[in-house]
Each structure stands twice: as structure tokens, then as C-alpha cells.
């Protein structure tokens, strides 16, 4: 008991104060606490509910088209709003091929960037470069589209495509007039857009590998490349796969930039120089003009395909990344 309390004669009051306080807490406060807890729980369940609601709504709205066309919907290349004949094959093909091109470029590029940031660059340079690469992720998709259509596509048609045509023109992939827009250009731009996402996680993975392990390899006389190739990458493989799938999910759904540069043609062709389309670009181009119920339903069915693919890819990516962070925070 403090001297001040004794002096002012409040000593006798203390038990009463405590009792009053405890009484208040046990009734109204815990009641409020309980409802507050339920409120926050409700809000946090809103996120998974939203996820499920989106899936359900897509299934319900796309049912008419799926019933009408059956399996044909997924294998037909026909897309004719006038004749009300819809098939998803060219959109699905375009989505897969443009994503494949993007990932073939983005994964090595992102790993190299991460390697540079973690192992090679001095800390200050690494911070600046890391920030700049992250800013790439902040540039809105439509800006990539503007730049892609007006700047990068002409660049492709003047320099890259003629060069590819001359050197690798014997492959059907690189035949045809160098128009600039098309599958290849779309794939390359997606790669630039995915790069910051993959490299950010790869960077985490590289820097999470315990330095003892790396130093042991350096101590054996290994070079930086050998340490990366034989120690860091195998050690962080789960995380790198997770990062790659995260990028894959983003690449599959990339919309605006692709819509600008892919040429929007509903056909499958061997050449990467010709116009194509993806699920997302078809939705972006045609949705606001679709009026007939079957047309809208077919477009939503395309959306459903994209939803299912990205959901599976994201799920796999989350599982991999979680496994990595779990085992590393516990195991080491």
C-alpha cells in the first residue's frame, strides 16, 4: 500500500473498488467480448464464403451453355455469336500456350533476379534494385497493355520477329508475317508482369536458406553458381515450386495486357506470330456486348474454366509455400 493512499485515507476503499471492477468485467465486458469475437469471426469467414459464392454463381450461370453444348463446348473451335455456336477450345489453347511462353521466360528470369539480389549485389544496390523490381508489380495491367500495343508490339515486329523468322523460321512456330501482335508478344509481356511476383518469393526462399549450409559449401571451394545450383535450389525447391505456381496462377488470368496485344482471333494456329485469344481476353472483349442468354452463359462457362484452373494452381502453390515456411520455422 502506498504512502499516498494511506495519507489520503483511501486504504479502506481498495477492496470495494476491486470488487466493483471485477463485477463489471464479468457481466457486461465478457458479453461484449463474446459478441465482438463472433463479429470478427463472421467477417473472417466472409473471405472463404466469397470464394465459394463466386464458384457457385459461375456454375449456376454457365449451366445453360454447358447443358446446351455438352462436352462439345470444350473441344469445339467454333465461336460464332451470330449462329449462337460456342466452343472454348481456342480460348483454352490460347490461355495455356501464352502462359507456357510466359513461364518459360519468367521462371529462369525471376530465379536469376533473386540470385542477383540475394547473393551477388551489395546490400544497398540490392535494396534499390529490389524496390524497382517490386514496382513492376504495381504498374496496372492496362498500362502494360498500352505500352505493349503502341511500343512493344512495333519493337517485336521490327526486330525480334524478323530475327526469329530468319534463324528459327524452319519451325512452324516462327512462320508468318511479323505483325508484332500475337501469341508470342502476349506471352513475353505476361512474363514481365509475373516476374516481380515470382522473384519476390524466390528471393525469400534464397535468403531463408541458412547461411551455415551455404557457407559449408563455400568452404569446400564451391563457386556461387555451384552453391546455388547444388545447395540453395535443392534446399528451397518446395518454395521455388510454390513461387512458380503462384506466378502461373497470375499468368493464366492476366487480362488487360493480353487483350491489347494478342489480336483476339478465335482460332488455333501453329505460328506464334498470328493473332490468338485467351479466356480472359475473350471475356474482356465480348462480355459487355453479349446480350443473348446463351452467349452470356457461354462466356461465364469460359470464366468457370479459368476459375477452376486458377483455383487448383493457387491451392497447390499455397500448399507448397506453407510446407516450406512451416518446416523451416520449426526444423531449423
List the interface residues with other proteins, window 68-107 (CB under 8 A): none
Q: Which residues in the 102-141 window bind other proteins by CB under 8 A?
A: 108-109, 112-113, 115-117, 120-121, 129, 131-136, 138-141
Q: Closest approach of Cβ 175 to other proteins, in Å?
A: 27
**Shortest Cβ distance from residue 67 to other proteins (Å)?**
17
According to DSSP, the residues that pair with 276 across neighbouring strands are 263
Q: Which span sits near other proteins by CB under 8 A: 160-168, 176-184, 268-276, 310-318?
A: 310-318
Cβ distance to other proteins smaller for residue 139 or 176: 139
- State yes or no: residue 151 binds other proteins (CB under 8 A): yes
The DSSP-derived string for 58-70 is HHHHHHHHHHHHT
Among 6, 10, 40, 167, binds other proteins (CB under 8 A): 40
Q: What is the largest CA-CA distance in the chain?
A: 101
- 206 is a site residue for other proteins (CB under 8 A): no
Stretch that binds other proteins, among 72-80, 143-151, 230-238, 265-273 (CB under 8 A): 143-151
CB of 283 to other proteins, least distance (A): 5
- Which of 184, 202, 205, 306 lies at the binding interface for other proteins (CB under 8 A)? 306
Which residue lies nearer to other proteins by CB, 136 or 208? Answer: 136
What is the distance between the alpha carbons of residues 115 and 48, in angstroms, rounded to a whole number? Answer: 35
Nearest to 249 by CA among 103, 119, 133: 103
How many whole angstroms separate alpha carbon 46 and alpha carbon 41?
9
Among the listed residues 65, 101, 103, 149, the single contact to other proteins using CB under 8 A: 149
Residues 276-305 that bind other proteins (CB under 8 A): 280, 283-284, 287-288, 299-300, 303
Residues 242-271 that bind other proteins (CB under 8 A): 246, 249-250, 252-256, 259-260
3-state SS of 110-166 is HHHHHHHHHHHCCHHHHHHHHHHHHHHHHCCHHHHHHHHHHHHHHHHHHHHHHHHHH
Query: What residues are paired with 79 via a beta bridge?
Result: 86
Told to check if 221 binds other proteins by CB under 8 A, we report: yes
Is there binding between residue 142 and other proteins (CB under 8 A)? yes
Neighbours of 198 (CB within 10 A): 28
Q: Helix, strand, or coil here: 5?
A: helix
DSSP letter for each residue of 240-278? HHHHHHHHHHHHHH--HHHHHHSB------S-SSS-B--
Q: Distance between CA 182 and CA 158 in Å, rounded? A: 14
Among 90, 185, 228, 274, binds other proteins (CB under 8 A): 228
Decide whether 133 or 276 has the Cβ nearer to other proteins: 133
Amino acid at each position: 500500500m502506498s504512502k499516498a493512499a494511506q495519507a489520503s485515507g483511501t486504504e479502506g476503499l481498495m477492496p470495494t473498488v476491486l470488487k466493483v471492477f471485477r463485477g463489471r468485467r464479468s457481466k457486461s465486458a465478457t458479453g461484449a467480448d463474446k459478441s465482438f469475437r463472433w463479429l470478427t469471426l463472421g467477417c473472417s469467414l466472409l473471405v472463404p464464403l466469397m470464394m465459394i459464392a463466386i464458384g457457385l454463381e459461375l456454375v449456376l450461370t454457365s449451366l445453360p451453355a454447358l447443358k446446351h453444348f455438352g462436352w462439345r463446348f470444350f473441344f469445339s473451335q467454333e465461336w460464332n455469336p451470330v449462329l449462337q455456336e460456342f466452343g472454348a477450345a481456342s480460348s483454352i489453347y490460347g490461355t495455356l500456350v501464352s502462359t507456357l511462353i510466359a513461364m518459360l521466360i519468367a521462371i529462369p528470369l525471376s530465379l536469376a533476379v533473386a540470385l542477383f539480389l540475394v547473393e551477388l549485389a551489395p546490400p544497398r544496390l540490392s535494396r534499390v534494385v529490389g524496390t524497382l523490381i517490386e514496382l513492376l508489380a504495381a504498374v496496372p495491367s492496362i498500362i502494360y497493355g498500352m505500352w505493349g500495343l503502341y511500343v512493344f508490339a512495333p519493337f517485336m515486329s521490327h526486330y525480334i520477329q524478323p530475327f526469329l523468322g530468319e534463324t528459327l523460321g524452319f519451325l512452324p512456330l516462327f512462320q508468318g508475317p511479323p505483325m508484332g501482335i500475337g501469341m508470342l508478344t502476349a506471352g513475353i509481356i505476361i512474363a514481365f508482369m509475373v516476374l516481380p511476383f515470382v522473384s519476390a518469393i524466390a528471393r525469400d526462399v534464397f535468403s531463408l536458406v541458412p547461411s551455415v549450409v551455404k557457407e559449408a559449401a563455400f568452404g569446400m571451394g564451391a563457386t556461387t553458381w555451384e552453391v546455388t545450383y547444388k545447395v540453395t535450389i535443392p534446399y528451397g525447391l518446395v518454395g521455388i515450386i510454390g513461387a512458380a505456381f503462384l506466378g502461373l496462377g497470375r499468368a493464366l488470368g492476366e487480362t488487360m495486357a493480353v487483350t491489347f496485344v494478342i489480336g483476339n482471333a478465335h482460332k488455333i494456329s501453329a505460328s506464334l506470330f498470328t493473332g490468338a485469344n485467351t479466356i480472359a481476353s475473350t471475356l474482356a472483349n465480348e462480355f459487355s456486348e453479349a446480350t443473348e442468354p446463351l452467349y452470356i452463359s457461354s462466356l461465364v462457362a469460359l470464366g468457370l474454366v479459368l476459375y477452376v484452373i486458377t483455383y487448383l494452381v493457387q491451392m497447390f502453390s499455397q500448399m507448397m509455400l506453407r510446407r516450406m515456411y512451416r518446416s523451416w520455422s520449426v526444423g531449423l
